[in-house]
Amino acid sequence: MRGTASAPGRVNLIGEHIDYNGGTVLPAALSVGVTVELEPRDDDRVLLVADQYDDPVERLISEEASGDWSDPSVGALREARALGLINAGASLTIRSNIPQGAGLSSSAALTVAILKAARAAGGVGRPDDQEIALAARRVENDYLGVPCGIMDQFAVAIAKPGMAMALDTKSLQYDLLDLPQDHTFVVIHSGVSRKLTDGRYKTRKIECDQAKAYFGTDDLCHLDPDAVRSSDLDATIRKRALHCATEHRRVLATVEALKAKDTAGVGDLMNASHVSMRDDFEMSLEPIDALVDDAMSAGALGARLTGGGFGGCITALVANEGKDDWLYELLRLHPRAKFICGA
């Protein structure tokens, strides 16, 4: 039986690089997304057609990752087979309007949509969405070699547009929160593309592992920031740990500010988050800092880099009234930047 499923992209409103350090994150589903049609096959071939790529690709489900765009699809099908949803290969037709290399979870959305399409094709109503998210994370960690946390897969498997998801990445408990009615989290691509597989994400993960070993905990987010500041840890590693400890607190404060409809407070926390990503986690780039600065000068309440970093998108909190003028001014100053959508 054929199966069809969709998954949205996501923007992380705040809480970067803390989903593998015991923190709480705050992603929201976007209106852009990916749709997959899957037809199980009797042989081990994987046939792929995708609207973001010109040529169809043929792989074998037994193949290891090769650096090709089709790797996430092959990895997702291997997980689908391990879960008993398909018996061999599959033909996939993929339609997506999530920009790649933008920090909007195009890869997580694709793997989750493939797993959900395989579930639909299997016709047995299992596994549930949380298990799908965990399987999609295994594709990244074990097949693609990206040591990411659970945020992206969880958000795109479960979150719905219009709500933010406060996700405790340790317990996997989450709360769904209303987004502001009179303000928008605008998502803008900086024009600088990046790949999670390019090694910089992994370097930050290794640095966090060094901090974990020093403090004797897996949960850098739960350390007292003052204890981190006064430690005699190597200066670079100390900054990485400090970002985790302060960012986690900013997420919890943002959740409270959103509940209190304190948009100015949310904006201040976003700005502080960007400074921490820029100076302590060192995951921003000069053109992105300039975009964030100009987003603020043009009238946003807050603005920050979002996602894995080293390129990709910013998100800015902007009043709906005057939003179009704000956007016009920002894109006029930054011709390489591109409006993606709002949340």
Binding positions for ligand GLA, rule: CB under 6 A: 12, 16-17, 19, 148-149, 151-152, 307-308
The phi and psi torsions of 128 (rounded to 5 degrees) equal -75, 175
Closest CB to ligand GLA among residues 63, 69 = 69
Rg (alpha carbons) of the chain, rounded to whole number: 20
Q: Give the DSSP letter string of 64-127.
A: PP-SSTTHHHHHHHHHHHHTTS-SS-EEEEEEE-SPTTSSS-HHHHHHHHHHHHHHHHHTS--S
Which of 152, 198, 224, 268 is the catalytic position?
Answer: 152
Pairing of strands 338-342, 27-40: unpaired
Q: Closer to ligand GLA at the Cβ: 120 or 266?
A: 266
Q: Report yes or no: 337 and 181 within 8 Å, Cβ to Cβ.
A: no
Give least dist CB 158 to ligand GLA, A.
Answer: 15
CB burial readout 315-328, b (16+ within 10 A) else e: bbbbeeeebeebbe
Catalytic residue check, 152: yes
Q: CB of 204: closest distance to ligand GLA in angstroms? A: 9
Contact 86, 77 (CB under 8 A): yes
State which residue, 90 or 150, has the beta carbon closest to ligand GLA: 150
CB nearer ligand GLA, residue 174 or residue 326: 174
Q: Return d(Cα 51, Cα 97) in angstroms, integer.
A: 9
Instruction: Give phi and psi for 31, each to the nearest 5.
Output: -80, -20
CB of 215 to ligand GLA, least distance (A): 19
| Distance in Å, CB of 317 to ligand GLA, minimum | 18
Q: How many CB atoms lie within 10 A of CB 202?
A: 15
CB of 228 to ligand GLA, least distance (A): 19
Q: Which is nearer to ligand GLA, 15 or 180 (CB)?
A: 15
Pairing of strands 3-12, 27-40: antiparallel
**φ and ψ at residue 73, rounded to 5 degrees:** -70, -45
Active-site residue set: 152
